[in-house]
Amino acid sequence: MTPPDSGPRQFAAAIQPLLAAFVAASLAGIAGWMTLAGGPSGLVHHDAPPDPEATFTLDVNAADVDELAQLPGLGPATASRIVEHRRLHGPFATSEALLDVPGIGPATLAAIRPHLRPIAPRSPTP
């Protein structure tokens, strides 16, 4: 003898048209959403996400080696030279003063300039 509840389960005949209408409405909603999103090409591909639009900025006179090393074109060695130069000569008066640091040339300065916060002018000491 087999138990009475064995075998495939089915929805009652009265509920099946409602379930079919729900599934059809859901699929129509998904198709509408994809159309509004620009079709399949408007979706973000998970292997190639878009580049971030926000850029980070830092204060070159307060950043430590780890923060400076994240700037494009700089590594830990150049970041250490910036911190050492700042320790020996005081804070940078302008972003162009970074050219005095060994390993930073005009191309490197141009690459990191969008990430540098404006340097506030030094107040005169009485």
- Per DSSP (E only), the strands in the chain are none
Mean pLDDT, residues 75-104: 94
Average pLDDT over the chain reads: 85
Task: Give domain status of residue 83, yes or no.
Answer: yes
Give residue 44's pLDDT: 63
What CATH code is carried by the domain that includes residue 84?
1.10.150.320
Prediction pTM value: 0.56
Q: How many domains does the chain divide into?
A: 1
Range of the domain at 108: 65-115
Task: Give domain status of residue 17, yes or no.
Answer: no
Q: Is the pLDDT of residue 41 over 90?
A: no
Query: 10 Å Cβ neighbour count for 86?
Result: 19
* DSSP symbol at 73: T
Task: Give domain status of residue 82, yes or no.
Answer: yes
59 and 51 in contact (C-beta within 8 Å)? no
Q: Is the pLDDT of residue 45 over 70?
A: no
Give residue 78's pLDDT: 95
Task: Give domain status of residue 95, yes or no.
Answer: yes
